[in-house]
A = this chain, B = another copy of it.
Amino acid sequence: MKIKIALLGLGNIGTGVYKVLAHCGQKLEETQGLRIEMARVLVRDTAKARAVDIPAGLLTDRIEDILIDDSIGLVVECMGGIEPARTWLLAALRAGKSVVTANKMVIATCWEELDAAARASGAGLYYEASVAGGIPVIGTFNRSLQANTISEVMGIVNGTTNAILTDMSEVGLSFERALQHAQKKGYAEPDPTLDISGKDAAFKLSILASLAFGQRVRVEDVFVEGIERITQEDVAYGKTFGLTLKLLAIGRVESGRLQVRVHPAFLPSSHPLSSVRGPFNAIYLTGDALGQAMLYGRGAGDLPTASAIVSDIVMAAQHAGRHEHPAFLAGDVSDALPLEQNWQAAYYIHLRASDTPGALSQISGVLGKHGISLATVTQTARGSCTAPIIVITHPARELDIRRARQELACLDVVHDIVNIIRVEGGDGV
């Protein structure tokens, strides 16, 4: 079997794909009986110096060269962003060319029209690399968990924030220093907003939750909170309680309703996600037959991402003429779960309060009034006029916490509400 492909984009990921294909081509012929021929590489500037040695005839700056070439059966998109990726992928799919993409944004936001174009022409649409880089999480949902109804997906899907939080926890760096360190090591972009705001994770969760729960979950359905307000102090306090701070992307079914969100949260150190350090990613899931499972690995980087892309190319080639498409994209799923935002979690509440005997009772009074019961309370630094108080609550509703927060802020004895952070995974893992 032979397939001619075109590569769109020759940045970090595109170059990785080119390298990995050159490296593993012979192996793929031997083990898969598949010969992948690189026919065209689309770049913005064909004259620019490249990190890889590419025959000059392959380079082009005209998408038409690829779209009108009927011998090209598959297009690998490594450009990122929505346009022109969307327009070009639609054109490729309409021309019957299968698409393999690493682009979380274009899948998360334009999935329906891309899928419809693919179904109409009989082409395939593959996007394993769009979530968690090299970790085969999409393939696992599509091809290994069919017997399961998934009740929860909990992922660390952004390596930048995980590297920052790991440095804050293990090296004791401040948020700012940890961010600088991540930029220096190449884990964070010069403008890290998309990562630290949680938005990057929300794009990935949109794709992941759609596949996990078999219904379309849109980016705008995802409640998002980033790690901008996390302090070194909070990370350190959490550690004293045996808790590790992570930015989590969560989809969870509770009482027949689906909740999807990205937020920083503490996890018990014994939770499998707690040991996911540095730029690594992991997806922890619960299925009714499988029970708990986790997939762990590198969520970014040129070669890990290329590993996922090549597996998609092989899959696309082997399924030529009979590509599969998620059932939930074909039309409205009649039994889709209603979405809800009424999160339940334990909470870590970090306050500065007057170091007076009555302060604690006023604070617990406000929490109690909103139905929030306390698991532990720690008050330190007696002697100065302000004492840090750390409260860990039993599971409480987000709305109750918000109301209690407003009331706590009005108490004279409360000088400052430093941070309120969710505590997840406390179900005795």
Chain A residues in contact with chain B, CB under 8 A?
20-21, 23-24, 27-28, 30-33, 128, 134-136, 139-140, 143-149, 214, 270, 272, 274-277, 287-298, 301, 303-304, 306-308, 310-311, 314-315, 318, 324, 327-328
Contacts and interface: CB of A to CB of B under 8 A. Distances in A.
Question: Closest 8 CB pairs between A and B?
Answer: A293-B297, A136-B144, A147-B310, A289-B307, A294-B296, A290-B307, A134-B290, A289-B303
Contacts of A145: 136, 307, 311
B292 A147 contact: no
Contacts of A314: 146
B311 A143 contact: yes
Contact of A24 (B149, B292, B298, B324): B149
A292 B303 contact: no
Contacts of A290: 134, 297-298, 303-304, 307
A328 B311 CA distance: 19
Contact of A143 (B33, B135, B295, B315): B315
A22 to B, nearest CB: 11
B310 A31 contact: no
A324 B277 CA distance: 37
A276 B308 CA distance: 25
A297 B291 contact: yes
A334 to B, nearest CB: 10
A307 B147 CA distance: 6
A288 B308 CA distance: 13
A289 to B, nearest CB: 4
Given A128-B144, A145-B307, 9 more contacts: A20-B147, A24-B149, A28-B147, A31-B214, A272-B296, A289-B310, A291-B298, A293-B296, A294-B294
